[in-house]
Protein backbone atom coordinates (compact mmCIF):
# COMPACT_ATOMS: atom_id res chain seq x y z
CA UNK A 1 0.00 0.00 0.00
CA UNK A 2 1.43 3.37 -0.99
CA UNK A 3 2.03 6.08 1.60
CA UNK A 4 -0.27 9.07 1.37
CA UNK A 5 2.08 12.03 1.30
CA UNK A 6 1.21 14.44 4.12
CA UNK A 7 1.53 18.15 3.52
CA UNK A 8 4.07 20.00 5.68
CA UNK A 9 5.97 16.81 6.51
CA UNK A 10 9.69 16.01 6.35
CA UNK A 11 10.44 12.43 5.27
CA UNK A 12 13.89 11.10 6.21
CA UNK A 13 14.56 8.55 3.49
CA UNK A 14 17.33 5.92 3.49
CA UNK A 15 18.83 5.19 0.07
CA UNK A 16 21.18 2.43 -1.19
CA UNK A 17 24.83 2.38 -0.05
CA UNK A 18 25.93 0.90 -3.37
CA UNK A 19 23.60 -1.44 -5.19
CA UNK A 20 20.74 0.69 -6.53
CA UNK A 21 18.29 -2.19 -6.08
CA UNK A 22 18.70 -1.92 -2.30
CA UNK A 23 15.94 0.66 -1.99
CA UNK A 24 12.53 -0.02 -0.52
CA UNK A 25 9.30 0.28 -2.46
CA UNK A 26 8.10 2.72 0.19
CA UNK A 27 11.17 4.93 -0.32
CA UNK A 28 10.45 5.08 -4.04
CA UNK A 29 6.83 6.05 -3.36
CA UNK A 30 7.94 8.85 -1.03
CA UNK A 31 10.58 10.19 -3.41
CA UNK A 32 8.07 10.20 -6.25
CA UNK A 33 5.36 11.84 -4.16
CA UNK A 34 7.04 14.71 -2.28
CA UNK A 35 7.32 18.22 -3.67
CA UNK A 36 11.06 18.65 -3.10
CA UNK A 37 14.01 16.37 -2.30
CA UNK A 38 16.78 17.77 -0.08
CA UNK A 39 19.98 15.93 -1.04
CA UNK A 40 23.53 15.87 0.32
CA UNK A 41 24.82 15.72 -3.27
CA UNK A 42 22.28 16.53 -5.96
CA UNK A 43 24.34 14.79 -8.65
CA UNK A 44 24.40 11.49 -6.76
CA UNK A 45 20.69 11.69 -6.00
CA UNK A 46 19.88 12.66 -9.59
CA UNK A 47 21.55 9.43 -10.72
CA UNK A 48 19.34 7.41 -8.37
CA UNK A 49 16.17 9.22 -9.42
CA UNK A 50 16.97 8.82 -13.11
CA UNK A 51 17.48 5.10 -12.60
CA UNK A 52 13.92 4.87 -11.27
CA UNK A 53 12.45 7.41 -13.72
CA UNK A 54 11.60 9.93 -11.00
CA UNK A 55 11.66 13.60 -11.97
CA UNK A 56 11.80 15.89 -8.97
CA UNK A 57 13.09 19.30 -7.86
CA UNK A 58 16.28 19.01 -5.81
CA UNK A 59 17.99 21.29 -3.32
CA UNK A 60 21.40 20.77 -1.72
CA UNK A 61 21.70 20.16 2.02
CA UNK A 62 25.25 19.36 3.08
CA UNK A 63 27.50 19.96 6.06
CA UNK A 64 28.52 23.43 4.83
CA UNK A 65 25.00 24.82 4.44
CA UNK A 66 22.78 22.64 6.63
CA UNK A 67 21.86 25.31 9.19
CA UNK A 68 20.81 27.81 6.52
CA UNK A 69 19.02 25.15 4.44
CA UNK A 70 17.16 23.91 7.53
CA UNK A 71 15.32 27.24 7.91
CA UNK A 72 14.49 27.33 4.21
CA UNK A 73 13.04 23.81 4.38
CA UNK A 74 11.09 24.68 7.53
CA UNK A 75 9.58 27.59 5.62
CA UNK A 76 8.60 25.24 2.77
CA UNK A 77 6.96 22.91 5.26
CA UNK A 78 5.05 25.83 6.76
CA UNK A 79 3.75 26.52 3.27
CA UNK A 80 2.36 23.00 3.02
CA UNK A 81 5.13 21.44 0.94
CA UNK A 82 6.27 17.85 1.58
CA UNK A 83 10.05 17.37 1.60
CA UNK A 84 12.23 14.24 1.49
CA UNK A 85 15.74 14.28 2.96
CA UNK A 86 18.34 11.90 1.52
CA UNK A 87 22.09 11.44 2.02
CA UNK A 88 24.63 10.41 -0.60
CA UNK A 89 24.12 6.84 0.57
CA UNK A 90 22.45 5.11 3.48
CA UNK A 91 20.46 6.74 6.26
CA UNK A 92 20.58 10.54 6.72
CA UNK A 93 21.98 11.77 10.02
CA UNK A 94 24.19 8.68 10.55
CA UNK A 95 27.68 10.12 9.98
CA UNK A 96 25.99 12.24 7.32
CA UNK A 97 24.14 15.60 7.36
CA UNK A 98 20.56 15.61 8.60
CA UNK A 99 20.60 16.00 12.36
CA UNK A 100 20.53 19.81 12.34
CA UNK A 101 17.74 19.85 9.78
CA UNK A 102 15.58 17.37 11.67
CA UNK A 103 16.13 19.21 14.96
CA UNK A 104 15.17 22.55 13.42
CA UNK A 105 12.07 21.14 11.75
CA UNK A 106 10.92 19.43 14.95
CA UNK A 107 11.47 22.56 17.02
CA UNK A 108 9.17 24.42 14.65
CA UNK A 109 6.44 21.84 15.13
CA UNK A 110 6.56 20.04 11.80
CA UNK A 111 6.17 16.24 11.67
CA UNK A 112 9.20 14.10 10.75
CA UNK A 113 8.66 10.62 9.31
CA UNK A 114 11.53 8.10 9.02
CA UNK A 115 11.62 5.82 5.98
CA UNK A 116 14.16 3.12 6.94
CA UNK A 117 16.52 1.26 4.69
CA UNK A 118 20.21 0.63 4.06
CA UNK A 119 22.87 1.36 6.70
CA UNK A 120 26.53 0.41 6.26
CA UNK A 121 27.20 -0.37 9.94
CA UNK A 122 24.25 -2.76 10.26
CA UNK A 123 25.09 -4.30 6.90
CA UNK A 124 28.64 -5.06 8.08
CA UNK A 125 27.50 -6.44 11.43
CA UNK A 126 25.04 -8.80 9.76
CA UNK A 127 27.81 -10.41 7.68
CA UNK A 128 30.52 -10.48 10.35
CA UNK A 129 29.56 -13.51 12.41
CA UNK A 130 30.04 -11.48 15.59
CA UNK A 131 27.96 -13.07 18.36
CA UNK A 132 28.28 -10.51 21.14
CA UNK A 133 24.89 -8.82 21.65
CA UNK A 134 26.05 -5.22 22.09
CA UNK A 135 27.86 -2.76 19.85
CA UNK A 136 28.81 0.90 19.96
CA UNK A 137 28.50 2.81 16.70
CA UNK A 138 31.21 5.46 16.76
CA UNK A 139 31.37 6.48 13.12
CA UNK A 140 34.40 8.44 11.90
CA UNK A 141 37.34 8.95 14.24
CA UNK A 142 39.17 12.31 14.17
CA UNK A 143 41.45 12.91 11.20
CA UNK A 144 44.44 14.04 13.29
CA UNK A 145 46.55 11.30 14.85
CA UNK A 146 46.71 12.88 18.31
CA UNK A 147 42.96 13.38 18.62
CA UNK A 148 42.29 9.93 17.21
CA UNK A 149 44.54 8.23 19.77
CA UNK A 150 43.03 10.19 22.65
CA UNK A 151 39.52 9.16 21.67
CA UNK A 152 40.58 5.53 21.22
CA UNK A 153 42.09 5.59 24.71
CA UNK A 154 38.65 6.58 26.03
CA UNK A 155 37.15 3.54 24.28
CA UNK A 156 39.78 1.05 25.40
CA UNK A 157 37.80 -0.56 28.22
CA UNK A 158 34.46 -0.81 26.40
CA UNK A 159 33.43 -4.50 26.32
CA UNK A 160 31.10 -4.13 23.30
CA UNK A 161 31.98 -4.36 19.62
CA UNK A 162 33.23 -0.98 18.37
CA UNK A 163 32.02 0.15 14.93
CA UNK A 164 33.99 2.73 12.95
CA UNK A 165 33.75 4.24 9.48
CA UNK A 166 36.94 5.18 7.67
CA UNK A 167 37.96 6.66 4.33
CA UNK A 168 40.57 4.99 2.08
CA UNK A 169 43.19 7.73 2.43
CA UNK A 170 43.26 7.30 6.24
CA UNK A 171 42.71 3.57 6.59
CA UNK A 172 46.36 2.58 7.23
CA UNK A 173 47.03 5.21 9.89
CA UNK A 174 43.66 4.53 11.52
CA UNK A 175 44.29 0.78 11.82
CA UNK A 176 47.85 1.41 13.04
CA UNK A 177 46.48 3.58 15.84
CA UNK A 178 43.82 0.98 16.69
CA UNK A 179 46.56 -1.62 17.17
CA UNK A 180 48.82 0.73 19.12
CA UNK A 181 46.16 1.98 21.53
CA UNK A 182 43.84 -1.03 21.87
CA UNK A 183 46.25 -3.93 21.42
CA UNK A 184 47.12 -6.28 18.56
CA UNK A 185 45.14 -9.32 19.74
CA UNK A 186 41.61 -8.02 19.25
CA UNK A 187 39.60 -9.33 16.31
CA UNK A 188 39.04 -6.88 13.46
CA UNK A 189 36.40 -7.25 10.76
CA UNK A 190 37.16 -5.14 7.69
CA UNK A 191 34.05 -4.61 5.55
CA UNK A 192 34.93 -2.87 2.30
CA UNK A 193 32.74 -1.57 -0.54
CA UNK A 194 29.58 -3.14 0.88
CA UNK A 195 26.91 -3.99 -1.72
CA UNK A 196 29.21 -2.79 -4.52
CA UNK A 197 31.02 -4.77 -7.22
CA UNK A 198 34.23 -5.33 -5.24
CA UNK A 199 32.64 -5.96 -1.84
CA UNK A 200 34.78 -7.88 0.64
CA UNK A 201 34.63 -8.82 4.31
CA UNK A 202 37.95 -9.84 5.87
CA UNK A 203 38.44 -10.97 9.49
CA UNK A 204 41.82 -11.05 11.20
CA UNK A 205 43.68 -10.17 14.37
CA UNK A 206 44.19 -6.43 14.66
CA UNK A 207 47.95 -6.94 14.57
CA UNK A 208 47.68 -8.66 11.18
CA UNK A 209 45.53 -6.01 9.51
CA UNK A 210 48.32 -3.77 8.19
CA UNK A 211 49.95 -6.73 6.41
CA UNK A 212 46.59 -7.53 4.78
CA UNK A 213 46.15 -3.97 3.56
CA UNK A 214 49.69 -3.84 2.19
CA UNK A 215 49.46 -7.23 0.46
CA UNK A 216 47.26 -5.78 -2.30
CA UNK A 217 46.70 -2.10 -3.24
CA UNK A 218 43.05 -2.91 -3.95
CA UNK A 219 42.56 -3.75 -0.26
CA UNK A 220 43.02 -0.04 0.51
CA UNK A 221 40.37 1.18 -1.95
CA UNK A 222 36.75 2.00 -1.19
CA UNK A 223 34.77 2.96 1.88
CA UNK A 224 35.36 0.96 5.06
CA UNK A 225 33.39 -0.24 8.05
CA UNK A 226 35.66 -1.53 10.84
CA UNK A 227 34.24 -3.81 13.53
CA UNK A 228 36.56 -4.27 16.49
CA UNK A 229 35.98 -6.78 19.27
CA UNK A 230 35.50 -5.22 22.69
CA UNK A 231 37.73 -5.37 25.75
CA UNK A 232 37.72 -8.64 27.60
CA UNK A 233 35.39 -8.53 30.59
CA UNK A 234 36.40 -9.68 34.02
CA UNK A 235 34.18 -11.17 36.70
CA UNK A 236 32.78 -8.25 38.66
CA UNK A 237 34.12 -8.08 42.20
CA UNK A 238 37.02 -10.47 41.54
CA UNK A 239 40.71 -9.95 41.04
CA UNK A 240 42.88 -12.62 39.43
CA UNK A 241 45.63 -14.28 41.42
CA UNK A 242 48.17 -12.69 39.07
CA UNK A 243 46.78 -9.19 39.73
CA UNK A 244 46.88 -9.77 43.48
CA UNK A 245 50.47 -11.01 43.25
CA UNK A 246 51.47 -7.92 41.29
CA UNK A 247 49.87 -5.68 43.90
CA UNK A 248 51.64 -7.49 46.77
CA UNK A 249 54.99 -7.05 45.04
CA UNK A 250 54.39 -3.36 44.37
CA UNK A 251 53.37 -2.73 47.98
CA UNK A 252 56.80 -3.99 49.08
CA UNK A 253 58.48 -1.17 47.17
CA UNK A 254 55.97 1.67 46.75
CA UNK A 255 53.55 3.71 48.88
CA UNK A 256 50.02 2.32 48.89
CA UNK A 257 48.42 4.85 46.52
CA UNK A 258 51.26 4.62 44.03
CA UNK A 259 51.21 0.82 44.16
CA UNK A 260 47.47 0.82 43.44
CA UNK A 261 47.92 3.24 40.54
CA UNK A 262 50.64 1.14 38.91
CA UNK A 263 48.70 -2.11 39.48
CA UNK A 264 45.61 -0.59 37.83
CA UNK A 265 47.66 0.48 34.81
CA UNK A 266 49.18 -2.99 34.47
CA UNK A 267 46.00 -5.00 34.97
CA UNK A 268 43.26 -2.66 33.73
CA UNK A 269 41.34 -3.42 36.93
CA UNK A 270 39.31 -0.98 39.00
CA UNK A 271 41.39 1.26 41.28
CA UNK A 272 38.68 0.99 43.96
CA UNK A 273 38.93 -2.81 44.02
CA UNK A 274 42.72 -2.67 44.12
CA UNK A 275 42.69 0.00 46.82
CA UNK A 276 40.40 -2.10 49.03
CA UNK A 277 42.67 -5.11 48.61
CA UNK A 278 45.77 -3.01 49.31
CA UNK A 279 44.24 -1.75 52.56
CA UNK A 280 43.41 -5.28 53.63
CA UNK A 281 46.94 -6.42 52.87
CA UNK A 282 48.39 -3.54 54.85
CA UNK A 283 46.05 -4.32 57.76
CA UNK A 284 46.95 -7.99 57.71
CA UNK A 285 43.31 -8.99 57.07
CA UNK A 286 43.76 -10.21 53.50
CA UNK A 287 42.06 -13.56 54.03
CA UNK A 288 38.90 -11.98 55.45
CA UNK A 289 37.99 -9.81 52.46
CA UNK A 290 40.13 -11.16 49.63
CA UNK A 291 37.77 -10.84 46.62
CA UNK A 292 38.32 -14.34 45.23
CA UNK A 293 39.33 -16.25 48.36
CA UNK A 294 37.88 -19.75 48.80
CA UNK A 295 35.91 -20.66 51.86
User: Do residues 226 and 189 lie in contact, with contact meaning Cβ atoms separated by under 8 Å?
Assistant: yes
| Domain at 212, CATH number | 3.30.950.10
Q: Within this chain, do residues 258 and 201 fall inside the same structural domain, yes or no?
A: no
Residues 168, 88 within the same domain: no
Phi-psi region of 49 (alpha: psi -120 to 50; beta: other; left: phi over 0): alpha
65: in domain: yes
> Residue 288 pLDDT > 70, yes or no?
no
Q: Is residue 189 domain-shared with residue 213, that is, in the same domain?
A: yes
Distance CA 186, CA 179 (A): 8
Q: Is residue 102 part of a domain?
A: yes
Determine how β-strand 112-115 pairs with β-strand 161-166.
unpaired
The pTM of the full predicted model, rounded to 2 decimals, is 0.77
Q: Over pLDDT 70: what percentage of the chain?
A: 93
Q: Is position 236 within any domain?
A: no
| Of the residues 77, 99, 118, the one at which a domain ends | 118
Are 98 and 130 part of one and the same domain? no
pLDDT at 233 (0 to 100): 65
Cα–Cα distance between 11 and 38 in angstroms, integer? 10
Return d(Cα 182, Cα 153) in angstroms, integer.
Answer: 7
Domain extent at residue 264: 241-289
Per the domain annotation, does 199 fall within a domain?
yes
Q: Are 204 and 173 in contact (CB under 8 A)?
A: no
199 and 257 inside one domain: no
User: Do 196 and 258 share a domain, yes or no?
Assistant: no
294 part of a folded domain: no
DSSP state, residue 147: H
Terminal C-alpha separation, the chain: 66
Question: How many domains does the chain divide into?
Answer: 3
SS3 of residue 8 by DSSP: coil
pLDDT in tens, 37-92: 999 999 999 999 999 999 999 999 999 999 999 999 999 999 999 999 999 999 99
pLDDT beyond 80 at 99:
yes
Q: Exposed, middle or buried by CB within 10 Å (0-12, 13-18, 19+), for 149?
A: middle
Torsion of CA 274, 278, 280, 285, to 10 degrees: 120
* 59, part of any domain: yes
CATH number of the domain residue 51 falls in = 3.40.1010.10
Instruction: Please say if the pLDDT value at position 293 is more than 70.
Output: no
The answer to whether residue 5 is domain-embedded is: no
59, 89, 118 - which closes a domain: 118
**What is the per-residue pLDDT across 228-273, written as a single tens digit (0 to 9) for each?**
999 976 554 567 778 888 888 899 989 998 988 888 888 777 777 7
If asked whether residues 72 and 83 sit together in one domain, one would say yes
Please indicate, yes or no, whether residues 40 and 55 belong to a single structural domain of this protein. Answer: yes
149 and 202 together in one domain: yes
Same domain, 43 and 91: yes
State mean pLDDT over 131-149. 95
Same-domain check for residues 282 and 213: no
- Domain C-terminal end among 97, 118, 139: 118
Coarse DSSP helix, strand, coil percentages of the chain, rounded to the nearest 5 percent: 45, 15, 40
User: Please, are residues 111 and 9 in contact by the beta-carbon 8 Å criterion?
Assistant: yes
Q: Are residues 60 and 100 in the same domain?
A: yes
β-strand pairing of 224-228 with 187-192: antiparallel
**Residues 157, 163, 167, CA angle at the centre, nearest 5°?**
125
Q: What is the average pLDDT across 186-197?
A: 96
**What stretch of H or E contains 127?**
none
Amino acid sequence: MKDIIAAGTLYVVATPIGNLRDITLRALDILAGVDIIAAEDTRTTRHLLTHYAIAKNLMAVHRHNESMAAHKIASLLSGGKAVALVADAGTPGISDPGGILVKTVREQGHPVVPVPGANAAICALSASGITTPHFLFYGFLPASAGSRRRELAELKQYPCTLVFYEAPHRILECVSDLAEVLGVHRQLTIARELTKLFESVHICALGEAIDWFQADPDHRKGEFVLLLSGAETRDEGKLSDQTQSVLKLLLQHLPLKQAVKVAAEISGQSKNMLYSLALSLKDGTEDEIRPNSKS
